[in-house]
Amino acid sequence: MRILVTGGAGFIGSHVLLALNNQGHTTSLIDDFNDFYAPSLKRWNAQNCGSILFEGDIRVKEDVERCFDLHQPEAVIHLAARAGVRPSLTQTQLYVDTNVTGTLNILEAMRSRHIKRLVFASSSSVYGCNKKVPFSESDPILKTISPYAATKVAGEHLCSVYSHLYGMSVVALRFFTVYGPRQRPDLAIHKFTRLINEGREISQFGDGTTRRDYTFIDDIVQGVLQSLSYTKDHSGLEVFNLGESRTVELRELISLIEDSLEIKAKIRKLPMQPGDVPLTYADITKSKELLGYNPQTPIEQGIQAFVSWFHEETKVISN
Ligand code: NAD
């Protein structure tokens, strides 16, 4: 099949593309290589995933149209977005333009070409300060507390509208903090590992008891591929959580990284950041039942895999 992955030069996208190529699909990617983090990392990902590159911006309708005309995808995995909660508080317009208008541009390009199958990257942040745990797909999502989360809610709603009006089959995946080799450098596991390794101080927001459901990249890739298969035989919008369904306290996470690096962290304690949620915790009953999703990598093993990759990467960069 011909599959387009938007944001394919990013962390999750590049892993998804490698897996799709291994399955024998013909893949292409659209990415604008913006400087949210080092574009050189994204360039490396794009050059090493074996896919056809279209350099363009999903906020620009003409770019999206040209990309679809050139690559003629039969299915789309839409991952391109401004990710991350904290910058969305100061760059709200950019987040809305990319995550909402950009998503609309993708849906419109699909509608006008009768492309029916879409997997959309949503986020656990849509649950906001949900009190009920674990979070399940049927929980109301009216408690979002960051602009980023609001753009993902809007994206899900646009997917719902287009699937309803134009007979598309859409899976929206609520990813729970994804980590692993090539993880975004702004995310805690990557940032902490780098700073601890350099003997520098890390900032711990809150008292260390905030809890997250961390999901290893291979498990996310498995869920994305299963979702793509799911769109073949279903119509309408279906929402799934992709997490490990286990929570880890921030201080426990730090000590796992310390153990893997064999270096003690210097910790600076700071107040909780606005927009950050105290807890994420995925109920994955539905994903297991309908997708056959079955995460395999416990955090202890995943952190070791991440730190091994980090050491290799550091060696390559310093040579
Ligand atoms: P990433 O930043 O590594 O990848 C996103 C890619 O999209 C980047 O390569 C970026 O250059 C590209 N992009 C951004 N704006 C664009 C634009 N206007 N036009 C074209 N390309 C553009 O992030 P990621 O961690 O791989 O996340 C992928 C998706 O998963 C995002 O939609 C994100 O919101 C979602 N998500 C990620 C996590 C996580 O923990 N990593 C959690 C929940 C949801």
Indicate the SS3 state at residue 216: strand
Residues 292-301 pLDDT 10s: 999 999 999 9
Nearest to 125 by CA among 8, 226, 212: 212
CA 84 to ligand 1: nearest atom: 34
Question: With the C-alpha atoms ordered 210, 140, 287, 226, is the resulting torsion angle positive or negative?
Answer: negative
Whether 63 is in the pocket of ligand 1, judged by its Cβ within 6 Å, is no
Residues 85-109 pLDDT 10s: 999 999 999 999 999 999 999 999 9
Residues 132-188 pLDDT 10s: 999 999 999 988 999 999 999 999 999 999 999 999 999 999 999 999 999 999 999
Whether 213 is in the pocket of ligand 1, judged by its Cβ within 6 Å, is no
Average pLDDT over residues 265-290: 94
Please say if the pLDDT value at position 6 is more than 90.
Answer: yes
Question: Residue 273 — very low, low, confident or very high, per pLDDT cuts 50/70/90?
Answer: confident
Count of other CB atoms within 10 angstroms of residue 318: 6
Distance, in Å, from the CA atom of 259 to the CA atom of 251, rounded to the nearest integer, reads 12
Distance, in Å, from the CA atom of 231 to the CA atom of 19, rounded to the nearest integer, reads 18
Active site residue 148: yes
Distance, in Å, from the CA atom of 81 to the CA atom of 95, rounded to the nearest integer, reads 8
Burial (0-12, 13-18, 19+ Cβ within 10 Å), 291: buried
Residues 177-197 pLDDT 10s: 999 999 999 999 999 999 999
Question: Residue 276 — very low, low, confident or very high, per pLDDT cuts 50/70/90?
Answer: confident
Whether 31 is in the pocket of ligand 1, judged by its Cβ within 6 Å, is yes
User: What does the DSSP assignment read for 105-147?
Assistant: HHHHHHHHTT--EEEEEEEGGGGTT--SSSB-TTS------SH
Q: Are 7 and 80 in contact (CB under 8 A)?
A: yes
Report pLDDT for 318.
61
pLDDT averaged over every residue in the chain: 96
Whether 96 is in the pocket of ligand 1, judged by its Cβ within 6 Å, is no
How far does residue 121's CA lie from ligand 1's centre (Å)? 9
Paired tokens of 110: 């699909």
Average pLDDT over residues 75-82: 98
Non-local CB neighbours of 11 within 8 Å, separated by 6+ positions: 45, 178, 182, 183, 184, 217
Q: Point out the catalytic residue in the list 127, 148, 230, 281.
A: 148
Average pLDDT over residues 42-67: 97
Q: At how many degrees (to 10) do helices 299-318 and 188-197 cross?
A: 60
Count of other CB atoms within 10 angstroms of residue 79: 26
How far does residue 45's CA lie from ligand 1's centre (Å)? 13
Please say if the pLDDT value at position 275 is more than 90.
Answer: no
- Helix (H) / strand (E) element for 104: namely helix 102-112
